[in-house]
Structures are given as C-alpha cells and as structure tokens.
Amino acid sequence: MRIHREGTKIILISSMFLLASLILLVELSMPFWLVLLLGIPLLVFYILILRFFRNPYRKLSFENGQVLAPCDGKVVVIEEVEEGEYFKDKRIQLSIFMSPLNVHVNRNPISGLVTYFKYHPGKYLVAWHPKSSTENERTTTVLKSESGQEVLFRQIAGAVARRIRWYIKENDRVEAGSEMGFIKFGSRVDVLLPLGAQIKVNLEEKVSGAKSVLAQLEK
C-alpha cells in the first residue's frame, strides 16, 4: 500500500507508540488474554491510520471537456448557487463529502492554468453545514482550460479536519487528476461549474478522485 507523504510523520510516531505499548504489555508479564484485549485495539487504530493516508495509484482516462472528481467521497450537494468570490454569478455547485475512511488526496478536476488561488482562514463548522462553503477554513482554486472554460473548486475544513494542504499556486499549469493537496481527517470539496455543464453524477453517489466524471463542459 502506497502511503501519502502527509502521513509520514504521524505514521512514524504511531509506529513507535504501538511498538512501545506492545513491549510494555509483554514486559509487565500480563496474561496473554489481557495482552490481546489491550493490544488488538491499538493495532486496529494503527491500521486505520495507515488506511487514512493511503495513496492508491489512479490510471487516468478521460476526454476533453470532462470534469473529474477532485476527491473520493459521496456527492451531497448538486444545486445552482450564487458564487460571490470569483465569478460573481450563478454556477452549479457539486459538493463531495469525504469521511475518515475515504482516500484524502485532492486532485485537479481539469487540465489548465491556475488563474486564481486563495487561502481563507475561518470556522470549523461540520462539513455538511450549508455555511461551511463560505465560513469555514478553505482554499479556492480556479483552473482555466485551453478552450477557455473555468472551473472553481474549494478544499473545505470541517469540525475534525483542520489540516488543509495544497501544492499549487497561481500561474501553475496542471494536469487533470494530478495531486493538488490533501485534507486530513475528513471534510469536503466543492466544485463550481458553468450553468451549461452536463452533470454526470447523482446525489448520494459515491465517486473516486481522478476516476469518476462529474460533468461535461460545453464545447
């Protein structure tokens, strides 16, 4: 299992803690059943941490104009909204909720130029709260394709997720499906599309980052 670089430090610390705990349990000469009782939950917790920071290889396959899912998770919002930060007009918003069990790598939904990027400090409302898109800690990124279409997406921190990472900046050229960031311990990503985009997913549908197609942009 390939591990994401964001997990290196916490996995190292967790490994040392797990090893020290198991050694202590053995050194205390506890009954075998008690060692199992205390050791198994520690091992399960360690495995969950490893799974959280997994970074599976994703083979890209998409056509021009397609918008890929920027993360793994479940589609929880598909609605028309007024986007007030960059476009200042109506857009279609798709929101994907990431549970702690999902892969938490964030990816670029289209290929193109980063025309806008901004980090916003903010609150830590639960990720499904309607105001989390505008009031929580978040980043806003706008990508412009070669055909001139622009797609905006946001990494949004939640009540538990308070570690947003990003690896891009304005004027970078990026490829669809390439890594752009990471959100630790669950949250959501919003994607805002032109009104003419053809939506290819449904509410409550589970999607995979860089694999699932969210929408087709007008040509």
Active site residues: 187
CA 69 to chain centre: 10
* Measured distance CA(158)–CA(123) in Å, rounded: 8
Largest pairwise CA distance in the chain: 71
C-alpha to C-alpha distance for 175 and 158, rounded to whole angstroms: 27
Q: How far apart are CA 126 and CA 128, in angstroms?
A: 6
Closest Cα partner for 108 from 146, 148, 63, 155?
155
- CA-to-CA dists, residue 100 to 52, 97, 103, 184, 185, angstroms: 7, 10, 8, 8, 5
